[in-house]
Every structure is written in structure tokens, then in C-alpha cells.
Structure 1
Amino acid sequence: MGREEEPLEGFEWRVGTRSVTKGVWAWSQPFWVPTERGKVAVLLVDTEGSMDIARGTETSVKLSALSMLLGSYQILNVSSQIKDPDLEYLEMFLHVAEEVGKEYELESIQHLDLLVRDWSSSTVLGSDGGEKHLRDVRQMLAATSPCKHPKALEVLSRSSSRCYLMPFPSKWIMIGNQGSLRDMDEDFRDSLRDYVTTLVCSVSQHVWRDRHGALLTGTQLTAKIKKFSDLMKKHHCGFSSPSQMAIAFHNQRVLDRAHADHALFLKEKDGDSQNMFSCLKVRPSKMTEQFAERRGHLLWRCRTDMQEPAPEKEALLTELEDLLTQEAETFLKTYGKRFKKFTILAGVGAGALVLGPVCGAAGAGIAGAVIAAEAAGALAAAEVVAIGVGTGAAAGIVVGGGVGGGVGRNIAQRDRQRAEAAGGGREEGDGTEDLSDDNPLI
């Protein structure tokens, strides 16, 4: 606490009615406290006045959620005595903390202190006076039917909640702009030292834990805070109330589940297409259709499962659609190259199996026919048909009755059909096998 004449240091402060702290301030370094279980890092966090009448509910909801994530030891600082507006804010805070706890698998309130400053209603201060005042508050809440602040009553009845009373610091502190220990009244200085000492000595009991009692690492807590920060950026209108925040949490889970399902679908298709025979059964055009169908189903499911009211629902769905489309397009480019590579390998391999030394020509013919069928975007339709007929027919004749012959005949017949269709089509019911693009190559 420094020497008697030294100005007080720490977070910025100022006498007056205007708030000083904006948003959330955190001390730049942790205080390392030795305990029987090892060193514990204590981070001091100061949050903007939560009941500032100049600020809307949305900011209070966001600050409450961040405060809950940052602090395993919550201190609600009130003036003179606990009044109904304080309990109203506490009720809102507890509602927010409950939703955040469920979303991030944390205990919503590990410890709560009601720190009453400028107490003057009795000479009994500290924990003893606070225990009596808290008992009076609980009785007042329980006397109303129905209870006006049920969450506050439930939390204030826990053994992990306490109240501490601090006296008025002194008129010299209140009229100054720096302050020092000698400006404090003796009883205030004693109360301050007692409160801080008690808090620090108990820190090993208040290390952050998840809902299952497991210790929370700094990395895990950082990930949760970053996830919440990203959510606030995405759901700009989702924090007008605790219930609206719960809807934002739910809708984000729906979107995340759809993205995860699409990633799994993509992984399965990528794994299947690593196998040549599996890949050649699905043409790139057909694979594109499958991804479009899957994307449509996921978007329909999100639209159905997302809760209302959600002002940004359509924008979030459009953002998801763009993301899924981009992922699909990236995969389909790779898939198209993989398909053509396997087509060439299949043609060369089949020719080698049947013809031995002359496999190169046969394989090239088969591969040429397939590539020609896929290259309609690069050449005019008539040119593609001509190339396909020529190479496919050659492959069908040369390869004969082996595996390569089967592939070659299919290609040749398919290209003849295209050529006939270009010249007027084939007759109804001629018994020709359906060899449209929807059918697999093998």
C-alpha cells in the first residue's frame, strides 16, 4: 500500500459523478500468490460501472458476459447499502452468467462478494456486519411472493456468497485527486487491509474450474474468450437482453453444427476419391450436384432450427452459404484434376493388361475419349463430339474384349449417341444402353 505520503497507485480514479473506467481494464501483470498447492496467478480486472444510466442494456449484457468469463471471483461494488436497483442488476448479471456458463461449460458463479462502500448504518463493519446485512437482504427477497429476483436469492443463499461492509474513506480522499494512506480514515484503512488480505489468502480456493470441477488452463480460458469475442462481432444485434443472447448462442451452435457436418461430408468425399475406382464412378459434374444438394439441405436445416427473433438470421445464412460454396469449389477443383488423372491411368492400365506393347495407343484412345467428354467448355460442341467418336471408336476396336474394351465400348457407344443426337437423335426404343453423363464411367 506504499508509504504514508505516497499518492495512491493502481487503476486510474477520479472523484466525481462521471465514470472513469470504460469497458474492461485488466492489470498489466498477474500477482503471483504462493499457496500450499503452488503459485496462483491473480489478475485484477476492473469493469465499467455496470448500472450506468447513460448506457444501454446491450453494453451491460456484454460487459457482464465478459466479466463472468474473466473472473472466477466476482465482486459487486455498491454504495451505502444493497438496494433494489442493485438486486435488479444482479439478477440480470446472474441470468447472463448462467447462459455463458452453459455455453462454455463453466460454473456461472464460483464466488460472489457484495462489497458495500460508505457504510454508515451501524458501527459493525467487515464480514460480521456484512453477514447481518446479507441476511436482511435474503429475508426481504424471500418475503415477496412471487420473488422479484429469484436468481439473486438463490445465489445469495449459497455458502460461496458473502457481504463485506466498508466505511466512508474520509473527506480528504473525496475532495482530492491523488490521495494517500494518510488521507484515509483509520477504520477505512483497516477494513481495506482486512478485505484484501482475506481475499488473497483464499485464492487457492477460487482458481477457475469448469462445470466438472477440472482446473481451467490459461489457454483454455483464452479460447473461450476469443470465441465469445468472435460471437459478439458476428451477432451485432444479439445482446439486447440475456434471453436474446441465449438465442444468439443457440443460433451459432446451429451454424457451427452445419459447418462441421459439411466438413465431414467433404472429408468423406475426399477420402473416397483417393481410390481410383471410386473416383471414376462419379463424374465431376455429378460431384458438383452432390455438393449443391448437401449445401441446400444444410441451409434448410439451419433456417428451420434457428430461433426467432434473430434480426441477422438471413445475413448469417448468406455468410454460411458463401463459406460452404467456397469450400466446395476448392475441393471440386482438386477433384476434377484427380478424376482426369485417374482416367488416363485407367486407360493406360487397361491397355497394358489386354494388349501389352500396344497399350499406349489403346490407353491414349480411351483417355482421350473421356477427356473429350469433360472438355465441352473448352471446345465447340461439334469438335468435342468428333474427337470423342474418333478416339472412343478406335479404343473400342483396338482393345477388344478385355477390361479396356469394356471402357472403350462404353465411351464409343456414348459418343455415337451424342453424334446421332446432334444429327437428329436415335429412334425410340432401339434398345441402346443409357450412357448419359449421370452414369458412372466404370
Structure 2
Amino acid sequence: MCNIVSFFRSSNSSAQDDLSFHSLMEEITCSICLDDLQDPVSIACGHTFCRVCISTHWSTPQLEGYLCPECRKQCPRYQIAPDYRLMNLISKIQKGVQENVNGPGKGSQVSSEHGYPVQLVWTDGSGCLHLNESVLWDCFMNSESSSYPVYLLGVIGEKRRGKSFLMNYIMRALESQEKGEEFSLGAEDEPLQGFQWRSGIDSTTKGVWMWSKPFILGAKGEKVAVYILDTEGSLDIEGDRESCIKLSALSMLLSSHLIFNVASCLKETELDYMEMYLHMGEEYGSQRLQYLDILIGDWHDSINCGRDAARFYINREIEKLQKGCNYPKVLWGLKSSHTRCFLLPHPGKGITGEGQGRLQDMDEDFQENLRTFIVDVVKGVWHRTKMDRTGGALSSAHLPALLQEFVDVLERQKYGFSTPMEMFYVIKNQKILENIKMELAEFLSNRPSHLLPSTMRTLVSEKMEELTKKFTDSFLGPNTAHHTNLLGELETHLQEELEKFCSGYTTRFTCNAIGLGLTAGVGLYGVVGAAAARGTVILASQPAVAVAESAVARSVATGTVTLLKDGLSALVGRFFRGGL
């Protein structure tokens, strides 16, 4: 996409134009990166920056607090508001600049009127994921399609391997289908637009982006909302490893159809991520991860490409994996009917050079195979809509809560994992911890109310020891530091729950003892006195602790009598004083 500032610098000449240019630059330029604003946000003092820029700038705490880079005022770190008016202004300017560059009628088939890229999830300088809630609700809830079943197409892979390029052509095809026209990838001379892309080595998007409007496809009176997700940084080996793994996991969990974009062949990196993908799918239910498409680009044999050649290649990979035991889930996944593969040849120098991504710039064999693959993707939309754990169809309205759940799960993990499987173990251990907590809550809710507090404390303590051992025996993965942290979290939780429960139980126990005495109906002192003489109050009848509880029961009975005496005396005194 043409840089706005560069365009105006090359086209302005008059003094008035220069004045207008500088005024415009102030509105659309980020003072941190000195480039066009990307996903502009305003902070508390009113100044505007790229979301990623200000987040990175504030990623390291300073003694003075979080200061605005322009006015140096202190601002709350998380008081960041999207500036939609400015975002729309920049989008319109970019569209106008592109039309000037390409000439009249040469604009993108997917124009800003039909949507534009928005950042759904972003990472800050410390590697934390942040969910853009305003985008989330605007895209999924504020439309007439919020009740339609959804198809979520996501793509992950190494940077600068054509992910955005691929998604833009898929969007062209979807738009033609949405309009009820014949399948089309656009005109031969039409420059490619949509998600940012360019040839070279630098990535253009960070985090998870999506197209702001779904494509609505209809068939036989039914409709489906098609959402497009573009993830950058998912397999960026040179970047922050933990952020890459989290972004990959998020894309995998959210997509109903995931395209795994691979260069040349399946390598150890891709196998690692696939192993995690399939483990996560099993952990969160088979319907969470539904359909995997392995797209191998830059295939060395331009003659033997497509689905049929891919089957032969995958069969060879299966044979290799069967000789080892490092990737059991990948081996199972490659045999699954929900996993397919496609071989795509090199696109040609016209695309990888400084071209504009036009169909006429592609090698003929690449264009033919690209069209075949995209036809398969678009035709499969109806069979790959998003399902819940039970197999029920999800609508757009379900997605905000689902995505928030995924982000929360991933952000609880801050242990510096360095491999995809290590992250899976971290998440799995966290889930086991939550199950242990729920088991404790259920145990406490089903405790009887007739035991003395001392007996109850002993029973609860024994249960907690049992749960602690159960948890330590279930640890997964080699990260002992992570295990230690989780065990400490569990022990703290158990101790807090023990004190809270026993305190409440003692209070209820005392109230029940008083209520029992008041409702006996044959004289309070006689009943309590008899109970004290027996060394028990109905409430304490356990043979194994008869001696100890006898003393406690006498104490309870004596305290109850004293309490009632004092209370009744005070009540009678107030009554007579009030009557005088």
C-alpha cells in the first residue's frame, strides 16, 4: 500500500499545498514511528499514536509513570481509546492515494466501502496479548449477520510467505460469490489490495487482523457469515517466541478452517506447531479445531502440484513419522479426513519482485493452481462452519465470549515457554488446577452440618492433602519452575478456602445449636444441661471422638446458656426501661 506521506511529498508544489500537507501530516502521522498511523488510539491527554507504538513505548515501566511521548503528561497505561473517525479518514486517504497511483478504475475489487483490515488482537512490547474489544463488538455484534452461522478462515505461517496475498485473492472470490456472480479472482490487470502485503523480507502486520465486514453467502434460503483472519508473527522465529506461539494457538483455536501456509516442505518448525494444534483440539473438544489445510508453497515440481500430488507427498511424510515417535498427534492428524494438503508452485518473478500482485504478473501454472485451491476453499464454506463442543452451530454473537475465553487462557501463561508443546503443557496444567479447585468447591458444598468444627476441619484438611497429591501426580511437561508456581498457587488457594469454610461453618454450627435449644419445647436449661451432662448435643455423636467432643459439647452448651441468659436479661431490661 502506498505510503501517504511519501505520496504527498512527491506531489505537492505550491505554498498553499505545503500548508495543507503539513496540517494533514499532523493528523495522520504517528510521532513515535513517524509513519502513517496504524490502528490509531488516543490516550488520556488527547494525543494519538499507533496502538502498537504506544504499547511498545510503555512496555517498560518508568519512575515517572507512563508519560505521553509528546506532552510528557502522566497517563493511565490502559486508558486507550480507538479513534474510529481518524481510522476512517486514513482509510479514505489511502484509497484516494492508491487510485491516483493506479489511475481511474484501477482500484481494488475489495474497496473500503466493503470493509477494511482491523486489528483484533495485538501484542505489546512485553509479549502480552491484548484483545481489541471495540473491534470485537463492532465486527461481530453490530450487524444484521450476528445471528448467522459463522465460517472463520484463518491462516498462519512464516512471515513474508504470501499469507496476506492469499487471503486477498480469497476475498475477491468471496465477494464475487456474495454478489451472486460467477467465481472470479478479479481482472487480469487489477492490482491486489485488501490486507497489507508487499514483496520483501519485512512483515506488514502484527498480531491477528480481520476484515471488518463478513462476506454473506446464501444458498437454498440459508445464509452464512464468512470472516477472514490474517495472522502475522505466528511463526516468526526471529521474534518473541512466546508471542509467536500464543498467536498461533489463538488462530488455531478460533478458526473453523485453518490454512497452514508452509514453504517448500513440512519442516520441524511446522511439525511442532501442528503437534500443539492437534493436542489443543483434543483438549478443547474435537469441534473447536475442525479443518486443517496444509498449503505448501514454492513447490519444486511445477508439473506435479495440486491435491493429487499432495496426497503422494503426505503419504511419504506419514511413512517417515511412523519410524519415530516424536509427533504422534501429527501422524494421526495427517491420516484424518479433516486434514488435507495442496502443493502450490512458485508464483514467478513478476509476483516476488516489485509487482502489484496482479493475475497477469503470475506464472501460468501458479495462477491455475491458485484458482483451483481457492475454488475448493470457497465451495467448502458451508461444510466448515464453526461448531461448539457438542457439534452445535455457532453464530457471530457467540464469538466475543469465545475469543475472550481463549485470550484469558493464553494470557494466564507467563512462564517463558519456548516450544509450542511446552505452551500446551502449561495450559493443560492450568486446566487441571481449575478442575482441582472445582472438585474442592463441590466437596465443601456437600459437607454435612452435624459435625463439630474440630471434626470438620480435620476432614477438610485430609481432603486438601488428597487433592494436592492428585495435582502433583498429574503434572505434564518438563518445566519444573511452572510446576512449582502452580503448586504454590494451589496451596495458597486451599489454605484460604479452608479458613473461609471453617470460619463460616463454626458460625453456622453455633447458630444451629442455639436454634436447637430454643425449639426443643421442654425447657432450655433442662435440655442443654442434659446435653452437657451427656457430653454431646445431637450435633456431636461420633464414637471415635466421643471423649474430645464431650468437653467441646459442654463448652458449647455452657456458652449457649450464658449467651441466652445475657441476651434475655438485656432484652427484658430494655423492655421495662422503655415502659417506665
Shared fold per TM-score greater than 0.5: yes
Q: Distance in 1 between matches of 2:554 and 2:393?
A: 54
Name the CA distance, whole Å, in 2 between partners of 1:317 and 1:97: 27
Partner of 1:423: none
Deviations 1:210-254 (A, max 9, x none): 687x23525777666555544433333374334434533443343
Q: For residues 439 and 137 of structure 1, do their structure 2 counterparts lie closer, same or farther at Cα, with a shift above 3 Å needed?
A: farther
Q: Does 1:215 align with 2:417?
A: no
Q: Distance in 2 between matches of 1:137 and 1:434?
A: 75
Equivalent residue, structure 2, for 1:303: 472
Q: Give yes or no for the alignment of 1:113 onto 2:293.
A: yes
Question: How far 1:103 sits from its partner (Å)?
Answer: 0.6
Q: CA separation of 1:441/1:268 partners in 2, compared to 1, >3 Å: closer, same or farther?
A: farther
Once the two structures are aligned, what percentage of the paired residues are identical? 31
For 1:306, the aligned partner's letter is F
Paired residue type of 2:203: S
**Offset at 1:36?**
4.2
Corresponding residue of 2:208 = 24
Query: What residue in structure 2 maps to residue 200 of structure 1?
Result: 378
Q: Is the 8 A contact 1:97 1:108 kept in 2?
A: no
Over the residues paired in the alignment, what is the CA RMSD in angstroms? Answer: 4.1
Aligned partner of 2:486 in structure 1 is 316
- Offset, 1:95: 0.8
- Of 71, 74, 78, 2:258 maps to 74
Render the CA deviation track for 1:359-378: whole Å, top value 9, x for unaligned: xxxx3xxxxxxxxxxxxxxx
Aligned AA (1:21): T
Question: Structure 1-normalised TM-score?
Answer: 0.65
Q: Secondary structure at the match of 2:481?
A: coil
2:552 is matched with 437
**In structure 2, what is the equivalent of residue 88 of structure 1?**
268
Query: Where is the helix percentage greater, Structure 1 or Structure 2?
Result: 1
How many angstroms apart in 2 are the aligned matches of 1:162 and 1:335?
A: 60
- 86, 94, 100: which one pairs with 2:280? 100
Asked if residue 407 in structure 1 is aligned to residue 531 in structure 2, the reply is: yes
C-alpha contact 1:75 1:112 (8 A) present in aligned 2? yes
Question: C-alpha distance in 1, partners of 2:503/2:328?
Answer: 58
Q: Which residue pairs with 1:55 in the alignment?
A: 239
Distance 2:473 2:548 in 1: 42
- Aligned partners of 1:439, 1:44: CA distance in 2, in Å? 72
* Alignment partner of 1:137 is 2:305: no
SS of residue paired to 1:46: strand
Equivalent residue for 2:512, pick from 338, 342, 363: 342
Q: Counterpart of 1:130 in structure 2: which amino acid?
A: G
Give the whole-Å Cα distance in 2 for the aligned partners of 1:74 and 1:22.
18
1:408, distance to aligned residue in structure 2 (A): 4.7
Q: TM-score, normalised on structure 2?
A: 0.52
**Letter of the 1:171 counterpart:** G
**Structure 1 residues 296 and 147: CA distance shift in structure 2, 3 A:** closer
Relative distance call for 1:91 and 1:221 in structure 2 (3 A) is farther
CA deviation after TM superposition for structure 1 residue 202, in Å: 1.8
Aligned residues: 358
C-alpha deviations, 1:235-283, integer Å up to 9, x for none? 33374334434533443343233212211111112xx33xxxx2xx423
1:34 matched to 2:218: yes
Match of 1:258 in 2: 436
Is contact 1:141–1:147 with CA below 8 Å preserved after alignment?
A: no
Corresponding residue SS for 2:205: coil
Aligned to 2:173: none
Q: What SS does the corresponding residue of 1:406 show, helix, strand or coil?
A: helix
- The one-letter code sitting in structure 2 at the alignment partner of 1:248 is V
Deviation at 1:104, TM superposition (A): 0.8
CA gap 1:131/1:261 in 2 versus in 1, 3 angstroms: closer
Tell me the distance in 1 between the aligned counterparts of 2:221 and 2:231: 29
Matched, 1:287 2:460: no
Measure the CA separation in 1 of the matches of 2:370 and 2:211. 19
Take 1:434 and 1:143, find their aligned partners in 2: how far apart are those partners? 70
Paired residue secondary structure (1:64): helix
Please tell me the residue identity of whatever aligns with 1:343.
A
From the CA coordinates, give the structure whose radius of gyration is larger.
1
Q: Does 1:14 align with 2:198?
A: yes
State the partner residue of 1:379.
Answer: none
